[in-house]
Amino acid sequence: MKRHNYLLDIIIVLIVVLAAFIGFFRIKNGFSYHWNWGSIPQFFFKTDGTGHISANLLVLGFLTTIKLSIWAFTAALFIGTVMGVLRTRENLFARMIGRTYIEIARNTPPLVLIFIFYFFIGNNIIAALGIDNWARGLHGSGRSIISFLFTKPERFSEFLSAVFTLAVYEGAYITEIVRGGLESIPKGQFEGANALGINFLDKYRFVILPQVFRKVLPSLTGQSISTIKDSSIVSIISIQELTFQGMQIMASTYMVFEIWITITVMYFILTFSLSTLANFVEGKLIRN
Amino acid sequence: MKKIILFLMIIVSVFFVLSCGNNTKKQAGSSESLLDTISRRGVIKVGLSTFVPWAMNDKNGNLIGFEVDVAKRLASDMGVDIELIPTKWSGIIPALLTGKFDVIIGGMGIRPDRNLKVNFSIPYEYSGLSIAANKEKASGFSTLEDFNKKDIIIATRIGSTGASVAEKLLPLATLKLFDDESQVIQELLSGRAHALIASAPMPAYQVIKNSEKLFMPFEGTFTKEPIGFALKKGDYDLVNYFNNWITVVDAEGWLAERNHYWFETREWENLVQ
């Protein structure tokens, strides 16, 4: 039995190696392209005349992707929790709000959603709040705090609309995850909490939601990986994240394949380390 | 519970109505010119799209190019700082109309159909379209008419002048539209298209760079296109300022000198790669 498995493994490995070779051969010969990997490192880090090293476009884009994903996911988690609770209430009105939200957000293409938010809603609401002027007017430490946590103050309002759009989109999926978690909690837990006489918020905060999150943690980490991947869509509204920066470099240097491959590897490193971390945390939870 | 929800809904709807009203007021009463807004803000926001050698990233991630020089000089003459906002070409007009920036200085051709949506300054530059073709697929082609056949595929950039001109001059050929010039070039190099149409000097540079694959069916450009600043409708003070600024720097010979540097020399090439 064991020997057979080994044989199958060897055959599969051989097929993969052969396919890689054929692919490589095709790229090398059938494909008219001047490879120029030597120019790639300078887009990670640049050195000025004095030998001072600082981050260049790709690293800056990578950091923006991370910040964008963290904020979008945090906001999505909040939206998803509130909507997930609404989805499971007895009250018809509450259920309708939750249902309407997820059906609209899940049944529209994210690209369309992003355009609508960026040009219509983001434009009206963010302009009315005066966030743009506020961010521009910042000085000193205020500027550096915004730059560190979000992005350059000049780009802050665009960044916010991107975060908001991504959060609304991802929030719909988190709503369903949270709803699934809530429905798996035995009725006795709700009744027990009610019997203690604690109020509505405390019931969820201390009794129900901690149990829910323990159950749905694996699905949530999957969704956080999706958020990172989906964040590349906001490049179309010119948020300067990894995909956008890569496309800018491509438009300037015409090094199409080198840049796409580099970007792919960068996204993979980010999401793969996240899923490894998730596996580790999950293992710990199960052992506890 | 119900009362709280009702209360929240009222707040949200009042807020929404207020924000809408605020916005229409701003549009209707545009008594204040953007010119004043720019000087008060101390920053002019310029939208552009990456497009060699008009605007591109150098090795250090800074924007350089003909447009960037024009925009920087404009800002310093206005006495304000500059904020360059790289934007995807396909979304650049909606972004201007929704106020993401004050003006497009992005090699935008003055075209009557575009002029219905935005205002243009007088031209500060003239550009023309030229064509580069794949040696294998289009061998022997030497006039524009050669490309006007049913099975010919032309690659060009979406929303560009090249796309609309190709539609008019080459009605029989099939157009393949892309968002970026790098994709257009790749399509031609891989032989999935017979030719590409783009603003000079890009096709000629690509032929020099890939001389074993590509050729120019005929030298020079086959259209002449005025390039202007694009801005929102209704602001005549700003149009007037831009027109006179262009007249002045043109008379100085500054525009011609910059044009020579970016379009006729390749001295800037090692800044990019």
Q: Is residue A99 part of a domain?
A: yes
Pick the residue of A37, A96, A118, A238 with the most B CBs within 10 A to test the interface with B by mutation. A238
Neighbour order of strands in the sheet with B103-104: B81-86, B43-48, B103-104, B230-231, B119-120
d(CA B34, CA A66): 36
Beta carbons of B182 and A154 less than 8 Å apart: no
Q: Does B61 sit within 8 Å of A56, measured CB to CB? A: yes
Continuous segment of H or E residues that includes residue B202: helix B202-209
Q: Which of A36, A124, A248 lies closest to B86 in CB terms?
A: A248
pLDDT at B270: 83
Which fold, B33-126+226-267? D-Maltodextrin-Binding Protein; domain 2 (3.40.190)
Task: Encode A159-172: b = buried (16+ Cβ within 10 Å), e = exposed.
Answer: bbbbbbbbbbbbbb
- Give the pLDDT confidence of A169-209 residue by residue, as tens digits: 999 999 999 999 999 999 999 889 889 888 888 888 888 99
A31 and B213 within 8 Å at the Cβ level: the answer is no
Asked if A240 and B91 come within 8 Å (Cβ–Cβ), the reply is no
Closest residue of chain A to B2, computed from CA coordinates: A93
Provide the 3-class DSSP secondary structure of residue B83.
strand
Domain residue ranges of chain B, discontinuous segments joined by +: 33-126+226-267, 129-223
What is the residue type of A63? L
User: Which tens digit of pLDDT belongs to each residue from B47-95?
Assistant: 998 888 889 888 888 899 999 999 999 999 999 999 999 888 888 998 8
The pLDDT, as a whole number, for residue B13 is: 67
Q: Do B59 and A46 touch (CB under 8 A)?
A: yes
Q: Is B180 on the interface with A (CB under 8 A)?
A: yes
Exposure string of A40-74, with b = 16+ CB inside 10 Å and e = fewer, is bebbeebeeeeeeeeebbbbbbbebbebbbebbbe
Residue A221 half-sphere exposure toward CB, CA atoms < 13 A: 17
Helix H or strand E segment including B56: strand B56-57
Q: Find residues 163-202 of chain A whose CB sits inside 8 Å of chain B.
A: none
Residue B7 in this model has a pLDDT that exceeds 80: no
Does the beta-carbon distance from A238 to B50 stay under 8 Å?
no
Q: Is the CB of A32 less than 8 angstroms away from the CB of B186?
A: no
Question: Is A92 in CB contact (< 8 Å) with chain B?
Answer: no
Range of the structural domain that residue A236 is part of: 56-287
pLDDT of the residue at A150 = 87
Nearest residue on chain B to A91, alpha-carbon basis: B2
Residue A263: which CATH number? Answer: 1.10.3720.10
Chain B residue at shortest CA distance from A255: B182
The answer to whether the CB of B93 falls within 8 A of the CB of B118 is yes
User: Which tokens hold the place of B54?
Assistant: 């008009």
pLDDT range class, residue B29, cuts 50, 70, 90: very low
Question: A42: nearest CA in chain B?
Answer: B59
Chain A residues touching B20 at Cβ < 8 A: 124
Number of separate domains in chain A: 1
Mean pLDDT within B5-29: 57
Whether residue A94 is contained in a domain is answered as: yes
Instruction: Please answer whether residues A167 and A79 qualify as being in contact, where contact means their C-beta atoms are separated by less than 8 angstroms.
Output: yes
How many C-alpha atoms does B35 have within 13 Å on its Cβ side?
A: 14
How many CB pairs lie under 8 A apart between chains A and B? Answer: 91
Residue A183 lies in a domain: yes
Judge: A253–B273 Cβ closer than 8 Å, yes or no.
Answer: yes
Q: Which candidate in A254, A259, A260, A263 is best for mutational testing of the B interface (most B CBs within 10 A)?
A: A254
Task: Name every chain B residue with its beta carbon within 8 A of the beta carbon of A154.
Answer: 43, 83
Q: Do domains B33-126+226-267 and B129-223 have the same CATH topology?
A: yes
The residue with greater pLDDT, B244 or B180, is B244
Confidence band for B31, pLDDT divided at 50, 70 and 90:
low
- Mean pLDDT of chain B, nearest integer: 86
Q: Nearest chain A residue to B209 by CA: give it.
A: A34
Q: What is the pLDDT of residue A25?
A: 78
CATH number of B129-223: 3.40.190.10
What's chain B's length in residues? 273
Q: Which residues of chain A have pLDDT under 70?
A: 1-4, 28-33, 49, 122
CB within 8 Å: B57 and A57: yes
